[in-house]
Chains A and B, each alone.
Chain A
Amino acid sequence: MILRVLFSRLFAHLDGPLVGLLGLLLLLGSVVVFSASGENPAKVAAHFVNLSVALGAMLLVSHIPPQRLMQFALPAYILGVALLLGVALFGIVVNGSRRWLELGVTRIQPSELMRLAAPMMLAWYLHYKQETMRGRDFAIAGLLLALPVGFIAKQPDLGTSLLITASGFYVLFLGGLSWKVIAGAAALAGSAVPLAWNYLLHDYQRQRVLTLIDPASDPLGAGYHIIQSTIAVGSGGVAGKGWMAGTQTHLDFLPERSTDFIFAVYSEEFGLVGNLFLLLLYAAIIWRGLMLASGAPTLFGRLFSGAIVLTFATYAFVNMGMVSGILPVVGVPLPLISYGGTSMVTVLVGFGIVMSLVTHKKLVKT
């Protein structure tokens, strides 16, 4: 009896349908990781450890009341920016970009923190200003977003900076950013593309885009990933080659097949049918997430949880688009499928926040 109460208390802030869908996705992910790792039990075990840690974090976060979360917003943001400044000044260079900060015992990548801290800060700011919201407040929010994005773009880490821009934009968009501003910003961005192409992008970044347009121009270099992953996807056909039977995967033709390119493994082995299932599963999670977000009692909750769910959708789209060859190669894992702890924790903590924001309704005075 006591146990039952304890259990219901423990899971009180979880949303049954959402957790069920996430569980299904995680299960599918484990199956794919098993194949992609070439039946490597150690890797599968590590995957389960990551998964348990991430689920635990989600459960933990779901218990944090929204008020407490709101209190975190400003300090988390300031800490994030400070760390990014630290990276810019003292960061260590790995693979040609300055992303990591050495902290003696461990090294951290502050841009990961910003994935949640930036939209949280913006949601908090708009919530804080909701009584007197003016156009100026959006401008300030825009600057708050531009600061960390600028740091991250400078590292350079174009993919992450774009994705953080997206999540910040979702907050502003859901917060009621004027269509005129959106249209103006889009026009400005469009006209800035040639400038950015010539002056802002690094050579390797330009190369990635060019490679997307014509992968065959560099079949053994930058084009190799795209060529091989597209072959994997295409050769999967309607029904797929069967679990553990993907030739591109198991004969080592696919690079990074358990991380960023895991979708190619899935696609090769489960075909169009499997892809449709995955798309529907993602869509269901997004739909349920947006449903929950619209039920959040506070503006902060609505904006932040909406942005988290839309960011999740963005990650899924960008990864699948990149693997199937319609988007340039950016280092984005397929959420909740790819092997790797950081991404899994970030995504599930995000969903934990969503559930916390919407299930603490009764306890919050509106």
Chain B
Amino acid sequence: MSGLRLINPEVEFLRYRRRLEIAGGVAALLFLILFSRFFWLQVLQYDHYHALAENNRISLVPAPPSRGVIYDRQGEVLAQNFSAYTLEITPSKTDDLETTLNLLSQVVTIDTGDRKRFKRLLAESKNFESIPIRNKLTEEEVARFTVNRYRFPGVEVKARLFRQYPFGEIFSHVVGYIGRIGQRDLDRLEESGQLANYRGSDHIGKLGIESTYESWLHGNTGIEKVETDSSGRAVRLLSRTAPVSGHNLYLHIDAKLQQVAEKVFGDYRGALVALDPRNGGVLAMVSKPGFDPNLFVDGIDSATWRELNDADERPLINRALRGVYPPGSTIKPFMALAGLESGVRKPGDSIADPGYFTLPGSSHRYRDWKKDGHGMVDLKRSIIVSCDTYYYGLAQQMGIERMAGFLGQFGFGKKSGVDLDGELSGLMPTPAWKKRRFKQPWWPGETVIAGIGQGYVLTTPMQLAVATMAIANNGMIYKPQLIRAWTDPVSGQMSQAAPRLVGHIAMKPQHLRLVREAMIEVMLPGGTASAAGANTPYLFAGKTGTAQVVGIRQGEKYDASRLASRHHDHALFIAFAPADDPKIVLAVMVENGGHGGSTAAPVARKVIDYWLLGKLPTAPVAPEAAARNLEEEDSAPLEEATPATTEGVSR
């Protein structure tokens, strides 16, 4: 590169041509590389990229089914759907959530409750899910948002189905509620292989019928194949598999009867179970107090939830299935049958009741509720006047093992199997159980008090109703069922739920007749519930009971006026009517209601009056009735009995 170059135009031009050719050759080579690349992408890798483009383009959008409607036996709606607009935000598609919320609140009303719920849902969900900020928009709000929509990327108005419970509190425990699907629900769905069917569903049954029959109520999710643009907006529908709605359910429950029962309870806490003895259908199931299930549907705010959960009244607990109480004297008809069937007692056997019972070789007195005793008491009278002494002796003679064996047939200590979750099994104690539970031997005195339904014996109102059904029904026990029928969503055909006979206790007809007659006389003058049984045009059979809340020491006397109302005894009552052709079986428990005859029995009377006579109650039972005429009532006796707990005896 040194020195002056000789300029030869010819040579120069040839060199230029050569260089131009080289450059052109390089360009051709590069174009060939491009073509190879195109060939690679468009021919060899076509399937791959075609699939990716289709993936981009086509989304499978789940089409959630509409949930089945729940009706009572008369066709009254207990749970239904209604369509409303929600405003929803997809966090991943919004730039600044806080700013969006603030701007949004200028367009539609968003109160602090909405914000709180949104925050909570936000924490629970994934970023690309759309989360409701406002439910049930008015037409005007929808219109206002639509106009401003361009300002809010990632915010959409969606038409959604909402669940509504027209009866509110009254069916909180029976119908239950649905709530947003949580992690535990997801795990369960995954386990059962149902997860795919819940794509597009936000809610799942959490309690009651909504939970038990979740798989029937939910229905099958359909799939819409839609073409979407890059922002995920559906451009057109390509194909659609229609969703299949859930089954509509018809319950044995009678909403009117339930309302009547609710009403007669008044301000009392407690539970009531009404069964149809002919098929086990649950006609009413009350647990007071209840709560408004509608609160749970859109996600309850934590303050309200805490309030419900921490309340002394424990409204969230279904007392009919989860409240366990000593059955008290309501156990006596069953004990009587046990005595008769085992041959330990003959119908005519009488005892002289001095007002107490002592075990051989012991001076400890097991007192009768009536201080001076009932005098000569045979089996029938022992039920009518609820004589404790009679049953102390009977229990002692039978022994706890035989008692537990026989009473177990009535369902004591076992779950009834009703179609609701969370039922507790109560307790029918045996020495083996005590050894396991407390590592202690069984004492004879524990058998004695078990004879009058105290001590370790615990039952739920449902168990008492089922056991009473066996007496009303000549020993036949049907599984209690809420479900009466359902309609197939496709054919519209209705299917009936068959009664499920779960037990037939072999008992002599004359024994059953005797006990039934005794229970009828309980309601007549001289019986413990004569006031509640006055002037019925039907044959009314019942048995009162009282479950002690606070132990009363030997020699002390129960004095209602001295005890705070929370320590008043629980009033119990079991009944069926008409006794000659039972159409309804009842178990009533009034917490701190005092005595069975004075509070629980009137509740039962009003409920049965409505069911058999169509008579609507005018007023709830009067609380003042509780503490009157102590001596004439069938009260709980003696001894430090296990305080009744509302929840959970662990086994």
Q: Which residues of A contact B (CB under 8 A)?
A: 130-135, 170, 173-174, 176, 178, 180-181, 228, 230-238, 247-248, 251-253, 267, 271-272, 275-276, 279, 282-283, 286-287, 290, 293-294, 299, 302, 306, 310, 313, 317, 320-321, 324-326
Q: Which of B1-9, B262-270, B395-403 binds A?
A: B1-9
Interface contacts beyond A134-B4, A134-B5, A233-B42: sample of 10 additional A-B pairs, CB < 8 Å, sorted by A: A135-B2, A170-B23, A178-B1, A231-B52, A234-B45, A234-B50, A237-B50, A248-B53, A251-B235, A276-B35
With a CB–CB cut-off of 8 A, which chain A residues contact B28?
A: 283
Q: How far is the CA of A173 from the CA of B20 in the complex (A)?
A: 9
Whether B48 and A306, one on each chain, are in contact in the complex, defined by CB atoms closer than 8 angstroms, is no
Q: How far is the CA of A73 from the CA of B452 in the complex (A)?
A: 119
Query: Who on chain B is nearest to A287 by CB?
Result: B24
- Supposing A132-B4, A173-B19, A313-B27 touch, asked if A251 and B57 sit within 8 A by C-beta, the answer is yes
Tell yes or no: B30 within 8 A of A by CB.
Answer: yes
With a CB–CB cut-off of 8 A, which chain B residues contact A276?
A: 35, 38
Whether A317 and B35, one on each chain, are in contact in the complex, defined by CB atoms closer than 8 angstroms, is no
Main SS at interface, chain B: helix
Q: How far is the CA of A9 from the CA of B28 in the complex (A)?
A: 35
Q: How far is the CA of A135 from the CA of B45 in the complex (A)?
A: 49
A342 to chain B, nearest CB (A): 24
With a CB–CB cut-off of 8 A, which chain A residues contact B48?
A: 234
A238 to chain B, nearest CB (A): 6
Whether B34 and A290, one on each chain, are in contact in the complex, defined by CB atoms closer than 8 angstroms, is no
Q: Which residue among B28, B48, B53, B227 has the maximum number of chain A CB atoms within 10 Å of its CB?
A: B53
Query: Who on chain B is nearest to A174 by CB?
Result: B19
A140 to chain B, nearest CB (A): 13
Q: Which of B10-18, B505-513, B576-584 binds A?
A: B10-18
With a CB–CB cut-off of 8 A, which chain B residues contact A173?
A: 19, 23
- Supposing A176-B12, A293-B20 touch, asked if A236 and B30 sit within 8 A by C-beta, the answer is no
Tell yes or no: B305 within 8 A of A by CB.
Answer: no
User: What 10 A-B pairs have minimum CB-CB distances, sorted nearest first?
Assistant: A234-B49, A135-B1, A235-B53, A234-B41, A252-B230, A251-B229, A272-B42, A252-B229, A235-B49, A247-B57
**Cβ contacts B43-74/A at 8 Å (1 or 0 each):** 10110111011101100000000000000000
With a CB–CB cut-off of 8 A, which chain B residues contact A326?
A: 33-34, 37
- Supposing A234-B41, A275-B42, A283-B28 touch, asked if A320 and B49 sit within 8 A by C-beta, the answer is no
Q: How far is the CA of A362 from the CA of B587 in the complex (A)?
A: 120
- Supposing A131-B7, A247-B57, A320-B34 touch, asked if A290 and B46 sit within 8 A by C-beta, the answer is no
With a CB–CB cut-off of 8 A, which chain B residues contact A236?
A: 42
Tell yes or no: B496 within 8 A of A by CB.
Answer: no
Q: How far is the CA of A294 from the CA of B12 in the complex (A)?
A: 12
Whether A174 and B23, one on each chain, are in contact in the complex, defined by CB atoms closer than 8 angstroms, is yes
Whether B23 and A290, one on each chain, are in contact in the complex, defined by CB atoms closer than 8 angstroms, is yes
Whether B27 and A234, one on each chain, are in contact in the complex, defined by CB atoms closer than 8 angstroms, is no
- Supposing A134-B4, A276-B35 touch, asked if A317 and B17 sit within 8 A by C-beta, the answer is no
Query: Who on chain B is nearest to A296 by CB?
Result: B16
Q: How far is the CA of A293 from the CA of B23 in the complex (A)?
A: 12
- Supposing A134-B3, A247-B57 touch, asked if A234 and B23 sit within 8 A by C-beta, the answer is no
Q: How far is the CA of A314 from the CA of B49 in the complex (A)?
A: 27
B400 to chain A, nearest CB (A): 72
Partner of A230, one of B41, B46, B235: B41
A168 to chain B, nearest CB (A): 14
Partner of B7, one of A133, A267, A287: A133
A185 to chain B, nearest CB (A): 13
- Supposing A234-B46, A253-B56 touch, asked if A317 and B4 sit within 8 A by C-beta, the answer is no
Whether A290 and B24, one on each chain, are in contact in the complex, defined by CB atoms closer than 8 angstroms, is yes
Tell yes or no: B231 within 8 A of A by CB.
Answer: yes
- Supposing A251-B56, A251-B227, A294-B16 touch, asked if A283 and B31 sit within 8 A by C-beta, the answer is yes
14 contacting pairs across A/B (C-beta < 8 A): A132-B5, A170-B23, A173-B23, A247-B56, A253-B56, A272-B42, A272-B43, A275-B38, A276-B38, A293-B20, A294-B17, A302-B16, A313-B27, A326-B34
Q: Which residues of B contact A (CB under 8 A)?
A: 1-5, 7, 12, 15-17, 19-20, 23-24, 27-28, 30-31, 33-35, 37-39, 41-43, 45-46, 48-50, 52-54, 56-57, 227-231, 235
Whether A279 and B27, one on each chain, are in contact in the complex, defined by CB atoms closer than 8 angstroms, is no
With a CB–CB cut-off of 8 A, which chain B residues contact A253?
A: 56, 229-230
Whether A286 and B24, one on each chain, are in contact in the complex, defined by CB atoms closer than 8 angstroms, is yes
Main SS at interface, chain A: helix
Partner of A251, one of B4, B16, B41, B228: B228
Query: Who on chain A is nearest to B22 by CB?
Result: A173
B4 to chain A, nearest CB (A): 6
Q: How far is the CA of A269 from the CA of B42 in the complex (A)?
A: 12
B231 to chain A, nearest CB (A): 7
With a CB–CB cut-off of 8 A, which chain B residues contact A234?
A: 41-42, 45-46, 48-50, 52-53
Whether B35 and A310, one on each chain, are in contact in the complex, defined by CB atoms closer than 8 angstroms, is no
With a CB–CB cut-off of 8 A, which chain A residues contact B41?
A: 230, 233-234, 324-325
With a CB–CB cut-off of 8 A, which chain B residues contact A299?
A: 12
Query: Who on chain A is nearest to B7 by CB?
Result: A131
With a CB–CB cut-off of 8 A, which chain B residues contact A302?
A: 16
Whether B30 and A317, one on each chain, are in contact in the complex, defined by CB atoms closer than 8 angstroms, is yes
- Supposing A267-B38, A324-B41 touch, asked if A290 and B7 sit within 8 A by C-beta, the answer is no
- Supposing A174-B16, A176-B19, A293-B20 touch, asked if A232 and B5 sit within 8 A by C-beta, the answer is no
Whether A231 and B56, one on each chain, are in contact in the complex, defined by CB atoms closer than 8 angstroms, is yes
Q: How far is the CA of A176 from the CA of B17 in the complex (A)?
A: 11
With a CB–CB cut-off of 8 A, which chain B residues contact A132?
A: 4-5
With a CB–CB cut-off of 8 A, which chain A residues contact B49?
A: 230-231, 233-235
B53 to chain A, nearest CB (A): 4
Q: How far is the CA of A18 from the CA of B497 in the complex (A)?
A: 87
Whether B34 and A176, one on each chain, are in contact in the complex, defined by CB atoms closer than 8 angstroms, is no
Whether B43 and A232, one on each chain, are in contact in the complex, defined by CB atoms closer than 8 angstroms, is no
Whether B27 and A272, one on each chain, are in contact in the complex, defined by CB atoms closer than 8 angstroms, is no
Whether A181 and B1, one on each chain, are in contact in the complex, defined by CB atoms closer than 8 angstroms, is yes
Q: How far is the CA of A237 from the CA of B52 in the complex (A)?
A: 13
Q: How far is the CA of A276 from the CA of B7 in the complex (A)?
A: 43
With a CB–CB cut-off of 8 A, which chain B residues contact A228?
A: 56
B282 to chain A, nearest CB (A): 55
With a CB–CB cut-off of 8 A, which chain B residues contact A317?
A: 27, 30-31, 34
- Supposing A237-B50, A248-B56, A251-B235 touch, asked if A271 and B24 sit within 8 A by C-beta, the answer is no
Q: How far is the CA of A286 from the CA of B4 in the complex (A)?
A: 34
A356 to chain B, nearest CB (A): 19
Whether B230 and A235, one on each chain, are in contact in the complex, defined by CB atoms closer than 8 angstroms, is no
Query: Who on chain B is nearest to A326 by CB?
Result: B37
Q: How far is the CA of A231 from the CA of B1 in the complex (A)?
A: 50
Q: How far is the CA of A134 from the CA of B229 in the complex (A)?
A: 61
Partner of A237, one of B3, B34, B43: B43
A83 to chain B, nearest CB (A): 30
With a CB–CB cut-off of 8 A, which chain B residues contact A324?
A: 34, 37-38, 41
B230 to chain A, nearest CB (A): 4
Q: How far is the CA of A253 from the CA of B228 in the complex (A)?
A: 10
B85 to chain A, nearest CB (A): 26
Q: How far is the CA of A294 from the CA of B27 in the complex (A)?
A: 16
Query: Who on chain B is nearest to A227 by CB?
Result: B52
Q: How far is the CA of A238 from the CA of B49 in the complex (A)?
A: 12
Q: How far is the CA of A230 from the CA of B42 in the complex (A)?
A: 10
